[in-house]
Amino acid sequence: MHIIESGNVAAATGVKLARAQVIAAYPITPQTPLTEKLSEFVESGQLDAQYIPVESEHSAMAVCIAASTAGTRAFTATSANGLLYMNEQLHWAVGARLPIVMCVANRGIGAPWTVWNDHQDSMAQRDVGWIQIYANDHQQIIDSVIKAFRLAETVSIPVMVCYDGYLLSHTYMPFDRPEQSDVDAFVPAFMPKNFLDPENPGNFNTVTLPDIRPGVDGVMEPGYIEIRHNLHQDLRAALESYEDIDRDFKKAFGRGGTPFVEEYRCDDARFVAVAIGSLSYQLRDVVDIMREDGIAIGVMGVQMYRPFPDEAIAQALSGKECVIVLEKALSYGNQGPLYGDIKSALYRLEDRPVIHNYILGLGGREIKTQQLLYALTESCTKPQAIEDTPRWIGLKLQE
Amino acid sequence: MAEKTTTLNLTEEEFVHPGNRACSGCGLSIVYRMGLKALGKNTILVVPPSCLTVLQGLYPVASTKLPCVNVTFASTGAAATGVRAAMKVLGKENVNVVAWAGDGGTGDIGIQALSGACERGEEIIYICYDNEAYMNTGVQRSGTTPQGVLTTTTPIKGKLQMKKDVPAIIAAHGIPYVATASAAFPLDLYDKVKKSTTISGPKYIHVHTPCPPGWGFESRFTIKVGKLAVETGLFDLYEIENGTFRLTGPSQRLLEKERRPVTDYFATQGRFKSLDSEMVRKIQQQVDAKWAAYKSAAV
């Protein structure tokens, strides 16, 4: 059924349809309307879950970690500094291999305070080991949330579903709300193998030595490095799992089919702009204008960022003349994080495209189509070798 | 209070394996063993980093026969909340959800999550074993280290500040049950933990827990040192049930008895050796004033 609602409500609706059992959250803009909606679902009886109004984001993730360890489906949501406050817990959740799902309404990070959108918050968490999916519109938000629960529980790794603060979280768009029965069939009940159970006691997240060690039965158990190695291998394997899940989703709901990257007019393109989130859709307008001017350009939106779909990206960009990576995040002192990752993915190609990096929109700076048009035209008409430092769009530096 | 437990009717069921990694003479060993006996099998434990993490053993071996989730330092109260929420969802309402943390994990880094859980009225039991410093990391001062105590971060003058009164802070949340106990009075501890399993809402038990290496006494004196803390009136055993305060057991009897001077307690431990006579006099005055208030309230 099609409804018109905000991105945050799309996310909340996905969480409700996936039947999250324990929800904990702390208010932070621009995530707040999502958790307000969930508290309403729970209080009104539309969602049979425990809603815990915790006193911090650190505690929100603590509740999710414990509830998930005890065998229930757990969800939280946050933004910006709230996500950073959770950092220790993010590592803990994935180290404990808990299939928690979290929405991140992307927002810039203080200091100085900003409430507006960029991607620095979730990008700063790219190495914690969580799966990161980025939605480009409201339909992708609700669909990604539903797929995220199934993915998390398939691979026992938590999943972050990220979407642009305000640009998506607070704007209203039409989207299809899947039927409950279809979602129930798609996301089966959470049945973990091991959980906190007085009938079958176990000690979870025990201190683990550097080397392997036998249990009381004499069987060797992994040391810390084996446990971490296995996490990495399982994350890499999650790429395939997500491809399967996305295929199943398309069968059931008729949407999807592009789990990793979403290409627009890329087939015959000599140039490809790359971006994450709603910016990749904004860039479609720019591509259309440039195509009218005879520039063979396309745009690729990256939807899964961790695990990094390097093969899919290298394949999509193989044979292109110039790749232009536009980012709302920066690895300070180096370059855009996506830019670095794409360069590394392209390294395997014999004939590597030229690649440019633009930083834009930090702290919600408005991104004008005209500016994008100018930057992309520059890159397409004067493709140079790889540059050491990113170019900036829309800076207003005063002399 | 229900009938007092004695060594004759104390359950023989054990939930802590012998030969665990606790130090010789560890006060926590006593507290943990007795506490788990009182809690029984139908219990889930939530443990942040502390000596207990070490006592519990190294993967893949564990010294506790109860399910336990190790959690991050600051998150204990919230993690216990999460376990309880899951129990509600799964219809296992009768499971005891028990957070078990040290004094630093409770009164310092963990106080926010604990305060949140108390304010929300979570159905949890929170047990703080107070060995009065960060013992697991090598005896650094904590908020609950008493005044004058030498630690590795107060190495010369001793701690200048007073001990933080954590049970009073928790009691200020208006939760139904707050109690103090001591490793030196294990049956009193047992009965308090047992009682906490019968009360609805958040329960908090603060247990004075002597630590031979951290406090500087021979490991055979754990009980003696713990008893002296109570008999000198420095650490008091009490219950606050639905807002009503009452001294219990040995502390209650102290109302009628002569208290021993605090110097008797200080003399047993190396950690007090930087106390000068002026400071001892002040501490004795504080203890006397506290007990004068207890007596006038009891009249």
Q: Could you read off the pLDDT of A216-268 as tens digits, one per residue?
A: 999 999 999 999 999 999 999 999 999 999 999 999 999 999 999 999 999 99
Mean pLDDT of B3-10: 92
Residues 205-224 of A with CB under 8 A from B: 205-209, 213-216, 221
Give the model confidence (pLDDT) of A82-94 as tens digits.
999 999 999 999 9
d(CA A323, CA A271): 6
Q: What are phi and psi of B196, to 5 degrees?
A: -60, -25
Q: Which of A22, A196, A215 sits opposite B67 (nearest CB)?
A: A196
A55 at interface of B, judged by CB pairs closer than 8 A: yes
Q: Is the pLDDT of residue B265 over 90?
A: yes
Residues of A in contact with B78 (CB under 8 A): 24, 54-56, 58-60, 62-63, 66
Nearest-CA distance from B116 to chain A in Å?
A: 6
Q: How confident is the model at residue A364 (pLDDT cuts 50, 70, 90)?
A: very high
Amino acid at A19: R
Chain centre distance of CA A216: 41
Q: How far is CA B221 from CA A111, B217, B227, B229, in A?
A: 53, 7, 10, 12
Q: Which of A55, A62, A198 sits opposite B41 (nearest CB)?
A: A198
d(CA A135, CA A130): 16
Give the model confidence (pLDDT) of B49-99 as tens digits.
999 999 999 999 999 999 999 999 999 999 999 999 999 999 999 999 999
A60 at interface of B, judged by CB pairs closer than 8 A: yes
Residue A1's pLDDT is 87
**Mean of the per-residue pLDDT values for chain A?**
97
Query: Strands A271-275 and B203-208: what pairing?
Result: unpaired
Specify the DSSP class assigned to residue A95.
Answer: H
Residue B3's pLDDT is 79
Residues of A in contact with B115 (CB under 8 A): 55
> Across the interface, do B79 and A74 touch by the CB < 8 Å criterion?
no
* Strand-pair partners of A228: none
How many Cβ pairs closer than 8 A exist between chain A and B?
174
Mean pLDDT of B243-271: 97
Give the model confidence (pLDDT) of B121-132 as tens digits.
999 999 999 999
Q: Is the pLDDT of residue B1 over 60?
A: no
Token pair in block for residue B114: 């604990």
Mean pLDDT of A31-55: 98
Helix, strand, or coil (residue A96): coil
Residue B299's pLDDT is 66
Q: Which residue has the tokens 């294990």?
A: B186
Mean pLDDT of A194-203: 97
Residues 89-108 of A with CB under 8 A from B: 89, 92
> Across the interface, do B78 and A71 touch by the CB < 8 Å criterion?
no
Give the chain B residue whose CA is nearest to the CA of A88.
B72
Residue A136's pLDDT is 97
Burial (CB count <10 Å: 0-12, 13-18, 19+), residue B78: buried
Residues 329-388 of A with CB under 8 A from B: none
Token pair in block for residue A338: 């996506």
CB atoms within 10 A of CB B267: 11
pTM of the model: 0.97
Residue A385's pLDDT is 67
Chosen from B54, B72, B118 to mutate, greatest number of chain A CBs within 10 A: B72
> Across the interface, do A66 and B82 touch by the CB < 8 Å criterion?
yes
Q: Are A341 and A373 in contact (CB under 8 A)?
A: no
Number of H helices, E strands in chain A: 13, 18
Q: Are B253 and B298 in contact (CB under 8 A)?
A: no
d(CA B166, CA B173): 11
DSSP string, A103-169: EEEE---PSSP--S--SHHHHTTTTSS-EEEE-SSHHHHHHHHHHHHHHHHHHT--EEEEEETTTTT
Give the chain B residue whose CA is nearest to the CA of A21.
B89
Nearest-CA distance from A228 to chain B in Å?
A: 15
Q: Are B34 and B186 in contact (CB under 8 A)?
A: yes
**Mean of the per-residue pLDDT values for chain B?**
97
Neighbour order of strands in the sheet with A50-53: A50-53, A22-25, A74-78, A101-106, A159-164, A131-134, A304-306
Nearest-CA distance from B52 to chain A in Å?
A: 11
Q: Are B118 and B106 in contact (CB under 8 A)?
A: no
Residues of B in contact with A68 (CB under 8 A): 82, 86
Residue B19's pLDDT is 87
d(CA A85, CA B129): 27
Mean pLDDT of A335-341: 97
A312 at interface of B, judged by CB pairs closer than 8 A: no
Q: Return the axis-axis angle of helices B111-120 and B76-90, rounded to nearest 10°.
A: 40
